[in-house]
Amino acid sequence: MSRRKIIAGNWKMNQTPSEAVELVKTLAPLVQNPDVDVVYCVPAIDIIPVREAIKGSNVRLGAENVHFEDKGAFTGEISPKMLKDAGVEYVIIGHSERRQYFGETDQTVNKKLLKLIEYGFRPIVCCGETLEQREAGITMDWINMQIKIAFSGVSAQQAKDVVIAYEPIWAIGTGKTATTGQAEEICGGIRRTIAGLYGEATAEAIRIQYGGSMNAANCKELLSQANIDGGLIGGASLKPDFGTIVHYQKA
């Protein structure tokens, strides 16, 4: 089965609303590739201006986080209902920075995933190991656990439309990329985990991204691997390099 590639930018806490609109304009001519899904996951305050700026283009709108309740006394949070009303399609959950700095756990990732599915979003579920875990030889055990908890209560039919982003924490924002072999090995392992949970058809359908210092120079090799169906890109998503990644076949 050939899975459609998905190249998603994770802008993090970087663009003011006016800078965001400028960035969309700069990238517009560079990111037109009808063969891949292109997504900008942007800070909450940028969602509306970016939605307007990408109108009529191939770019899809994404958020970087969501709360798992529909509404209520959660000061400073953004509900799935708000994101839906604002026109968001994709939502990143479980990013390692949310886990490290904001108390995200596999259990809250699970609650968020169930909520995103209920609302009809396309979730991007992040997982990944620390350097210590890799060196201790427990990478796949750790990721298996993350995936199994995150997908608890999710059906096979629902799971196939979820995107999983494998992001080794030691490779995020460090300039240290996993080798192509390391990235492919773990993405293949995640696919086997999904096969164990849901069967081969779901495992063949689900898209698995690699994330961690992907850039214009290393994207072609990474994205040519059998089990890597796209990239979640931080730093390089704010630069023209993102256009090169979108056109990785020619990189």
List interacting residues with ligand PEP (CB under 6 A).
Answer: 10, 167, 172-173, 211-214, 232-236
247 is catalytic: no
Cα separations in angstroms, 30 against 33, 78, 132, 240, 243: 9, 31, 38, 7, 5
Residue (156 or 251) nearer to ligand PEP, CB = 251
Minimum gap (Å) between residue 185 Cβ and ligand PEP: 18
Minimum gap (Å) between residue 179 Cβ and ligand PEP: 15
Identify residue 130 by its one-letter amino acid code.
Answer: T
Q: Are 121 and 89 in contact (CB under 8 A)?
A: yes
Write the DSSP string, 223-245: HTSTT--EEEESGGGGSTHHHHH
What does the CA dihedral 59, 17, 82, 239 come to, rounded to 10 degrees?
40
Minimum gap (Å) between residue 78 Cβ and ligand PEP: 19
- The single residue listed with the structure tokens 């696919």 is 191
End-to-end CA distance of the chain: 24
Number of Cβ within a 10 Å radius of residue 146: 24
Residue 117's closest CA among 82, 74, 144, 80? 80
167 is catalytic: yes
Residue (67 or 99) nearer to ligand PEP, CB = 99
Query: In a 10 Å sphere around its CB, with 0-12 CB exposed, 13-18 middle and 19+ buried, how is residue 58 labelled?
Result: middle
Minimum gap (Å) between residue 214 Cβ and ligand PEP: 6
Residue (83 or 214) nearer to ligand PEP, CB = 214
Task: Give the active site residue among 64, 97, 104, 167.
Answer: 167
Minimum gap (Å) between residue 15 Cβ and ligand PEP: 14
Residue (203 or 238) nearer to ligand PEP, CB = 238
Residue (43 or 234) nearer to ligand PEP, CB = 234
Task: Give the active site residue among 64, 67, 95, 97.
Answer: 95
The CA distance from 10 to 243, in Å, is 14
The CA distance from 33 to 6, in Å, is 11
Minimum gap (Å) between residue 232 Cβ and ligand PEP: 5
Residue (41 or 114) nearer to ligand PEP, CB = 41
Length of the chain: 251
Identify residue 59 by its one-letter amino acid code.
Answer: V
List the catalytic residues: 95, 167
